[in-house]
Structure 1
Amino acid sequence: MYLTRFRLNTARIGARKLLASPQRLHAAVMSSFARVPQVGEGPRVLWRLDRGGAAETFLYIASPGEPDLTHLVEQAGWPQTGRWDTRDYESFLARLAKGDQWAFRLTANPVHSIRRSSEEPTKVTAHVGRRHQSGWLLTHQEKAGFRVIETSQERRLLPEDEQYALTPKGDRYELVVHEQRQLSFTKAGQRKPVTLTTVTFDGRLEVTDPDALRRTLTHGLGRAKAYGCGLMTLAVV
């Protein structure tokens, strides 16, 4: 496994076109590999956009093979001075241990299935409120091999029976939900547009099942993985 970071030059038309279309960016990412693993073969190619200050936009890619981003440098980077940074990911994954604590970031597509009556088929619908979006992550954490760390008692600002809801000042969990985006694009050969709601989670976690977390980091979490969702990355707290 490899983890790659590439900075996009947002002043270039090519970069802006890629940022405007998850479908185009997905195709550009997959073009970085001579052989793309098929879904079900094992770890998959995952990617995520991180938008920072000073117009910095980074593309992160986790992949079973090492990517070649020459085409992205030429189209959306700095052809004379820009490169990309690829690191071996296997050694990091192998060191994960139960009880470890990490800061994490995840962009995901939190959804749930609903229906208005028992006669209707279920419909997949996006969570749009921060309370339900955070609840989606908390529901998935055990199977994904981690738990979101709870805020220490002295730092909690919400009454005990309301601590599940997030507020700007603090809450029960060390978790922030931000960057909600509504994406709409048309896939090749289809007329009906694809619509997605994505959010970014930042927080702190504790490893509860290293093997399950390794699978989460290499296979992704949630839906819409082809369109920039599901890649969780860890950093030193």
Structure 2
Amino acid sequence: MYLTRFRVNTHRSDARRLLGSPHRLHGAVNASFPTPPSREGSGPRVLWRVDRNTDSETLLYIVSPGRPDLTHLVEQAGWPASDEPGWATFSYADFLTALHAGDTWGFRLTANPVHNIRHQYLKEGERTKRAAHRTPRHQMRWLLERQERAGFEIVQKPEERRLLPVGDEYELVVRDQIPLQFHRPQAGKEPRTRAPGRADVQITKVTFDGRLRVTEPALFRRTLTHGLGKAKAYGCGLMTLAPVRGEGATA
């Protein structure tokens, strides 16, 4: 397994075009591997995420079973003439192996929190429809409901640090809620006529920052290498870790 970090040159029009289309960026990430990444089977998959940390720093993170070659991204969305390397790739396997129950980490996760609802306008045969969670409260609950199966638990705040009597129990914040609508071309088919305002894909990307504690290392390793939630092809599901007050190692 490998963890790769690529800095995007947002001053370039091609870079902005990529960032504006999860479908294009998905294709650019897949093009980093000689063999297209498989989405089938039980093995680790390619995950990616874009972090817009500041106006001058936008980073693309990729977790993958094989080492990527991002030469094409440097030429399209980086600094091709720079003496600095266009990306950095780190071995991830040793870090994953070193995770143990009880380890505490800061984390960042961009996900697509959804739930199934019943709707009076569903087509015949459809019992439920997938819909995005819209409020931070429900988005947090979505993550909390999955933590046990994902091998971790969100750290709870000491009572003296809780600003509200309800809803402020955890070291967890929601930021950067981004609704996305875009078209997904079908290979070998003519573009379909679409009604104005309609899109093939509609997702809501939400970024969580917080602190967690590892409870089941094997399950947690799977979460880090397989992703969490839906829309993984479009920049959701990747969780990365950072040390907390000197604990652990950077990832």
TM-score by length of 1: 0.93
* Partner of residue 93, structure 2: 90
Counterpart secondary structure, 2:19: helix
3-state SS of paired residue (2:79): coil
75, 99, 102: which one pairs with 2:102?
99
Q: Distance in 2 between matches of 1:147 and 1:207?
A: 7
Q: Which whole-Å CA distance do the structure 2 matches of 1:105 and 1:23 have between them?
A: 22
**Aligned-pair distance for 1:37?**
3.4
Residue 168 of structure 1 aligns with which residue?
none
- State whether structure 2 residue 182 is matched by structure 1 residue 182: no
Amino acid at match of 1:107: T
Q: Give the corresponding residue for 2:226.
A: 219
Q: Please provide the CA RMSD for this pair.
A: 1.5
| 2:135 matches 1:132 | no
**Bigger helix fraction:** 1
- Matched AA of 2:115: H
Three-state SS of the structure 2 residue aligned to 1:195 is strand
What is the CA–CA distance in structure 1 between the aligned matches of 2:35 and 2:171, rounded to whole Å? Answer: 39
User: Structure 1: how far apart are the matches of 2:38 and 2:126?
Assistant: 34
Please state if 1:172 is matched with 2:169. yes
One-letter code aligned to 1:212: L
Cα deviation for residue 120 of structure 1 reads 6.0
Matched residue SS, 1:60: strand
- Matched residues in 2 for 1:120 and 1:32: separation? 38
Aligned to 1:29: 29
Amino acid at match of 1:142: E
The Cα of 1:116 is off from its aligned counterpart by: 4.0
Q: What is the CA–CA distance in structure 2 between the aligned matches of 1:45 and 1:33, rounded to whole Å?
A: 10
TM superposition outliers: structure 1 runs of 4+ over 2 Å:
116-120, 189-193
How many angstroms does 1:53 deviate by?
A: 1.4
In the other structure, the counterpart of 2:6 is 6
1:146 to 149, 152, 155: 152
Q: 1:167 aligns to what?
A: none
Cα deviation per residue 1:170-219 (whole Å; 9 max; x = unaligned)? x1100010000011110113644211111000000000000000000000
Indicate yes or no: 2:246 matched with 1:207: no
Unaligned runs of 5+ in 1: 165-170
CA contact (8 A) 2:154 2:170 kept: yes
Which is further off, 81-90 or 97-106?
81-90
2:8 touches 2:77 (CA, 8 Å); kept in 1? yes
TM-score, normalised by the number of residues in structure 2: 0.88
Once residues 177 and 164 of structure 2 are traced to their aligned partners in structure 1, the CA distance between those partners, rounded to angstroms, is: 23
- Percentage identity across paired residues of the two chains: 62
For residues 48 and 243 of structure 2, the distance between their equivalents in structure 1, rounded to whole angstroms, comes to 20
* Residue correspondence of structure 1 range 25-104 to structure 2 within 5 A: 25-39=25-39, 40-81=41-82, 82-104=85-107
One-letter identity of the residue aligned with 2:107: F
Q: In terms of mean alpha carbon deviation, does 3-12 or 116-125 score higher?
A: 116-125
Shift of 1:55: 2.2
Equivalenced residue count is 228
Matched, 1:198 2:195: no
Alignment partners' CA distance in 2, 1:144 and 1:8: 30
- The one-letter amino acid paired with 2:242 is A
